[in-house]
Amino acid sequence: AEAHRFAVFGHPIAHSLSPQIHQAFADQLGIRLSYETIDAAPDQFEPAVRRFFAEGGLGANVTMPHKIAALNVAAERSEAAIRAGAANTLTPLVGGKLQAHNTDGSGFVRDITERHSLDLRGHDALLLGAGGAARAVAWALMDAGVQTLTIVNRSPDRADELADAIGEPARCHTRYWDDLEGKCFDLVVNATSIGVIGGSFDLPMSILQDHSTCYDLCYGAAAADFKGWATAAGTRYFRDGLGMLVEQAADAFERWHGQRPDTDPVYNLLRQRY
Ligand code: NDP
């Protein structure tokens, strides 16, 4: 019998680690599947998705630049997807409809609380960015019980929109990038794409304390810029987004297969290379 078909849609997508991660989970649990990459230009995303599921596809992950479009092709949307305004997981429903979900926030929190053993309750967190990934992470940080969440973004309106959507002004508010002097944070999360497309982390080093953690959603070479800033600012705890990548994949995998993989061996294998 043909193996059950899964895929990740993106543009570009050739270097995605998702096929390898899902295949490793499947091998671990004795599940047979095929997991391919599908490169679709923005105007081809919806037809390509429809074709994939019409041909029997059983689940799709979605990455840049299609995460907002993925929300729009779906007839049903999970709360996590609605909150993020973006989806990274599509699952077919009976009757050819699709369900959109987002595992970026849950993957981030699982990585930080379980792999890195950081209890977020009571933390003052700073979030850089207000794009799709930042929105998922902001809600997840609130749910995980941070004491305060400060959001800064290059375009301040987007940060304000996110804070308004969260709607807890006593805990979650925005500031301007250049208005962080004198503030201190336990956790600073980079959810911008500066490491991928260029830009600079122009932040006062005094925002970090001895125990503060810096977390970059990027990994590999794309994490170099923020790591450079964090290291110069004296952080002893720098984490990159490789663990989040594996955990968001595990959350999608569990949704599709009903079994939770052990993420540590897959993370450790990838860690040797990234
Ligand atoms: P978006 O394009 O939706 O958002 C990009 C964000 O970066 C916006 O807040 C944007 O600000 C900001 N930004 C871009 N360039 C600059 C600059 N030069 N200076 C300051 N801010 C800038 O991207 P995503 O939210 O989808 O992804 C963000 C990052 O997270 C990506 O690098 C991606 O690789 C990573 N990621 C990692 C995951 C993982 O599993 N490890 C999962 C998902 C994402 P503005 O609003 O002003 O444009």
Residues 155-192 as b or e (16 or more Cβ within 10 Å = b): eeebbebbbeebeeeebbebeeeeebeeeebbbbbbbb
205 and 131 in a common domain: yes
C-beta 171 within 6 A of ligand 1: no
Checking 263-267 for CB contacts under 8 A at 24+ apart, the result is 263/115, 264/115, 265/24, 265/28, 266/21, 266/24, 266/25, 266/28, 267/115, 267/242, 267/243
- Total domains present in the chain: 2
Q: Quick count: other Cβ atoms within 10 Å of Cβ 207?
A: 18
CB of 153 closer than 6 A to ligand 1? yes
Please give the distance, rounded to the nearest whole angstrom, from the Cα atom of residue 256 to the centre of ligand 1.
27
Q: Calculate the alpha carbon distances from 188 to 101, 148, 214, 231 in Å.
A: 26, 12, 5, 13
**Interface pTM (ipTM) of the complex?**
0.98
Q: Is 41 helix (H, G, I), strand (E, B) or coil?
A: coil
Catalytic residue among 67, 97, 183, 227: 67
Residue whose CA lies nearest to ligand 1 atom number 3: 131
pTM of the model: 0.96
Q: Are residues 136 and 186 in the same domain?
A: yes
Query: Which of ligand 1's atoms lies nearest the C-alpha of 104?
Result: 42
250 domain residue, yes or no: no
162 and 85 belong to one structural domain: no
Q: What CATH number does residue 202 fall under?
A: 3.40.50.720
* Cα(8) to centroid(ligand 1), Å: 19
User: Is 67 labeled as catalytic in the residue annotation?
Assistant: yes
Same domain assignment for residues 210 and 177 = yes
Q: Is 129 a pocket residue for ligand 1 (Cβ < 6 Å)?
A: yes
The rounded Å distance from CA 170 to ligand 1 centre is 26
Of all protein residues, the one whose alpha carbon is nearest to atom 9 of ligand 1 is 129
Find the domain containing 77 and state its range: 4-101
Rounded distance from Cα 136 to ligand 1 centre (Å): 12
Q: Is the CB of 68 under 6 A from ligand 1?
A: no
Q: Is residue 181 part of a domain?
A: yes
Instruction: Give yes or no for residue 4 CB within 6 A of ligand 1.
Output: no
Tens place of pLDDT per residue across the chain (274 aa): 577 999 999 999 999 999 999 999 999 999 999 999 999 999 999 999 999 999 999 999 999 999 999 999 999 999 999 999 999 999 999 999 999 999 999 999 999 999 999 999 999 999 999 999 999 999 999 999 999 999 999 999 999 999 999 999 999 999 999 999 999 999 999 999 999 999 999 999 999 999 999 999 999 999 999 999 999 999 999 999 999 999 999 999 999 999 999 999 999 999 999 8
Q: Atom 20, ligand 1: which residue's CA is nearest? A: 154
E strands present in the chain: 4-10, 33-39, 59-62, 76-77, 89-92, 98-101, 124-128, 148-152, 172-174, 185-190, 208-216, 237-239
Same-domain status, 41 and 113: no
23 CA from centroid of ligand 1 (Å): 27
Which atom of ligand 1 approaches the CA of 154 most closely?
Answer: 47
Based on the fold, state whether residues 177 and 51 are members of the same structural domain.
Answer: no
